[in-house]
């Protein structure tokens, strides 16, 4: 049984790497297309940390840094969100004002509006946490080509295996680029500046 879990987890990692390679190719400017014509992003209707319904259109005019994860994540999620916060801290105030970092849960069963809101806010007041019904989360995962799979742990608890990249969405809602979650904050700030943030 443990061998099957290891193989499934390894398969998820391979899928996430393949996804990153596809997304990392230069996209078409002003479109939602990533490498190879892959469409990234799309309309969504989710719930923020205050319980308010939020759609993709509410963020028009801002660059979005969209990251998918979950609040029970022991390592990569807090590390990546921390790096995003540090990168934004290295940017001039006018540039920071043009960016909204968005954390979308892949674990809506545990990540209620108040939970995901408090978690995102812990990384900075500008961070927005979003959740929704299982169907709404599945829809937004599909639109962003996100891999997420429940991984049952011994004792009955579970973790979420998921892809881990930062999507940069342009002020018009189109896909701009992906940033590697391993990127140093200073490099991330430089890349965002190159993208016109």
Query: Quick one: pLDDT at residue 13?
Result: 42
Q: Label residue 37 by pLDDT band (50, 70, 90).
A: low
Cα torsion angle, 95, 96, 100, 102, sign: positive
* Distance between first and last Cα of the chain: 48
pLDDT in tens, 75-93: 999 999 999 999 999 999 9
Fill in the DSSP letter of residue 39: B
Set out the domains of the chain in order of their start, with CATH numbers: 2-194 (3.40.30.10)
pLDDT in tens, 90-119: 999 999 999 999 999 999 999 999 999 999
Query: Quick one: pLDDT at residue 34?
Result: 56
CA separation for the pair 9, 189 (Å, rounded): 32
Q: Tell me the sheet residues that pair with 109.
A: none
């Amino acid at each position: 049984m443990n061998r099957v879990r290891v193989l499934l987890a390894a398969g998820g990692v391979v899928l996430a790497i393949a996804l990153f390679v596809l997304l990392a190719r230069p996209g078409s400017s002003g479109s939602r297309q990533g490498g190879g014509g892959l469409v990234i992003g799309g309309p969504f209707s989710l719930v923020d940390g205050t319980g308010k319904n939020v759609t993709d259109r509410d963020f028009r005019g801002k660059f979005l840094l969209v990251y998918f994860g979950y609040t029970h994540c022991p390592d990569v999620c807090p590390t990546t969100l921390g790096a995003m916060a540090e990168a934004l801290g290295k940017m001039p105030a006018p540039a920071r004002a043009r960016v909204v970092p968005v954390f979308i849960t892949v674990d809506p069963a545990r990540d209620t509006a108040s939970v995901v809101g408090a978690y995102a806010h812990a990384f900075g007041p500008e961070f927005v946490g979003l959740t929704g019904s299982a169907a709404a989360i599945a829809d937004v995962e599909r639109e962003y080509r996100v891999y997420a799979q429940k991984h049952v742990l011994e004792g009955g608890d579970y973790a979420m295996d998921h892809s881990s990249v930062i999507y940069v969405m342009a002020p018009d809602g189109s896909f701009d680029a992906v940033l590697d979650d391993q990127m140093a904050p200073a490099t991330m700030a430089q890349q965002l500046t190159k993208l016109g943030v």
